[in-house]
Amino acid sequence: MKSVLSIDVANGKSEVLLITEYGEVLIEPYEIKHCLNEFNLLKDKIDKLKLNDLTIFMESTSTYHLPIQRFFTKSNYNVQVINPILGKNNTRNLRKTKTDIEDCYNLADLFFKNTVKIHTKNMNDIYSSMIELSRQEKHLTESLVRSKNRFKQIIANAFPEYIKCFTANDIYGKTSLNFIKEFPHADIIKEKRIDALANNLYKSSKKGCSYSKCLTKAKKIKELANNSYPGIDIDSCEVSNLINIVDIISYNDSKLNDVKQDIVKLAKQTPYFNIINSIYGIGETSTAQIIAELGDINRFENIKQLNAFCGLDPTIVQSGKSINYHGPISKRGNRNARKILFITCCSIIRSSVLHNVDNDLLLYYRKKQAENKHFKECITACSTKLLRIIFAMCKNNSLYVRK
């Protein structure tokens, strides 16, 4: 006799219900806290019933479900976690009732219908580790962007002309950050000798950069500082804030590089790394990010499932006899995967324009442009095509052949 412990998960607590396939309620719905004592009490109640065919069934709810999933997995129970969209679409009746208890019954009803295909996932497998690293990379990247924006905001008050001394992202490089950390205000630079400024630049410059180049740059910085009139005084707290922001940028940049190395190292252990990395225009980091977000690609039976997983499947709208099969993408899937595919397609297209004009993705992009599609629509279409290429290559275990 089948039975299910359906769990409606919330932040720090859950509503649980144990019911059989014949509708017999073995444990009435009640609330438990996510702590070891209450987990053990629930386990004792279940063990006393001596059930032969029991499944723990719950929705994936942010990270809230992880403690209870981990407890029952470690206790050797059959644990199944489903996408919350599946649970949302299932109700036992037509009444608009939304309570924790009702959600438990809805989950149990969904389980016994056998309409949900479950993909078992090991919490300690390589793909789980990669997805956690991918989330950490996303967090550090967003933090780094905010810190860089703050840096430019303060430097505009402390030394407005400073951004003219470095090109593009070099202003956030080691040489620039070390310099502004030691000389965080234009008035400080005015009082320093040119050789002192040049020595600071030379110590943190890239290999191969001569002292004469550093001296030339130091003269330029000195000249700009002499004619600069900052918006803050030299003893302003914003000067200290600038030094703090420099430390934050350096720290986050270092940690971000470490995370990228770790995720690439794990990705190389998967069977898909060399396959995806062989696609023209995709580097090691992008390959690792794609694998982290898509996971084990072999678990998808067809490209439609993979498209739906990424939220790239088109919405289908019918009105009478008219059916639109080519509506906007659903955006119901993994948005991080969509973002990475979008950025990767942009990178491939830029590289192909310069070095590989016969690239399939570039030609497809040009085709969509000729149809007067918006830039984002073109790249989204290219993302779907790239996903099809990746899926086919991984399924056939074949490398990309450049034209």
164-181: pLDDT as tens digits: 888 778 899 999 999 999
Number of structural domains the chain divides into: 3
- Asked which of 244, 264, 284 is the last residue of a domain, the reply is 264
By the 8 A CB rule, do 39 and 49 touch?
A: no
- Residue 262 near residue 136 (C-beta atoms within 8 A): no
Which residue range forms the structural domain that includes residue 104? 2-113
State the distance between the two ends of the chain, measured CA to CA, in whole angstroms: 59
Helices in 183-236 by DSSP H: which ranges?
Answer: 186-190, 194-203, 211-226
111 touches 4 (CB < 8 A): yes
Confidence of residue 326 (pLDDT cuts 50, 70, 90): low
In the block, residue with structure tokens 């580097």: 283
Residue ending a domain, choose from 241, 264, 287 = 264
Q: 277 and 363 share a domain?
A: yes
Backbone angles phi, psi at 215, to 5 degrees: -65, -40
**The domain boundary residue, chosen from 232, 264, 296:** 264
Q: Which of 19-28, 116-125, 294-303 has the weakest average pLDDT? A: 116-125
DSSP 8-state symbol, 369: H
Question: What is the structure's pLDDT at 94?
Answer: 45
Q: Kindly give the pairing relationship between strand 78-82 and strand 322-324.
A: unpaired
Domain-embedded: residue 123: no
Position 121 in a domain: no
Domain-embedded: residue 213: yes
DSSP string, 298-322: GG-SSHHHHHHHHT-SBP-EEETTE
Strand blocks (E) in 207-344: 317-319, 322-324
Phi-psi region of 334 (alpha: psi -120 to 50; beta: other; left: phi over 0): beta
Give the residues across from 317 on adjacent strands.
324
Chain segment 68-92, per-residue pLDDT in tens: 999 999 999 999 888 777 766 556 5
Residue 286 and residue 253 share a domain? no
Calculate mean pLDDT across residues 345-366: 92
Instruction: Region of 281 please: left (phi>0), alpha (psi -120 to 50) or beta.
Output: left
Nearest to 339 by CA among 390, 379, 306: 379
- Percent of the chain residues past pLDDT 70, beyond the cut: 91
Q: Please tell me whether residues 389 and 310 are part of one structural domain.
A: yes
User: In this structure, is residue 120 part of a structural domain?
Assistant: no
Asked if residue 10 belongs to a domain, the reply is: yes
Asked whether residue 102 is domain-assigned, the answer is: yes
User: Does 390 lie in the same domain as 284?
Assistant: yes
Residues 288 and 377 in one domain: yes
State the CATH number of the domain containing residue 148.
1.10.287
The CATH number given to whatever domain includes residue 107 is 3.30.420.40
pTM, 2 dp:
0.80
- Asked if 336 and 390 sit in the same domain, the reply is yes
Report the alpha-carbon distance of residue 306 to residue 333 in Å, rounded. Answer: 9
Specify burial of residue 383 (Cβ count, 10 A radius: 0-12, 13-18, 19+).
buried
Query: Per-residue pLDDT averaged across 117-146, rounded?
Result: 82
Q: Could you tell me if 296 and 371 lie in one domain?
A: yes
Residue 403 in domain: no
Give alpha helix (H) positions in 75-210.
Answer: 84-88, 100-113, 126-158, 174-182, 186-190, 194-203
Would you mind telling me the total number of residues written for the chain in this entry?
403
Residue type, 199: N
Name the CA radius of gyration of the chain, rounded: 28
pLDDT level of residue 223 (50, 70, 90 thresholds): very high
Both tokens of 330, joined, read 């659903």
For residue 86, being part of any structural domain is answered with yes
Asked whether residue 141 falls in the same domain as residue 222, the answer is: yes
Interatomic CA distance for residues 314 and 330, integer angstroms: 6
**Same-domain pairing of 101 and 37:** yes
Say how far apart CA 397 and CA 392 lie, in whole Å.
8
DSSP state of 166: S
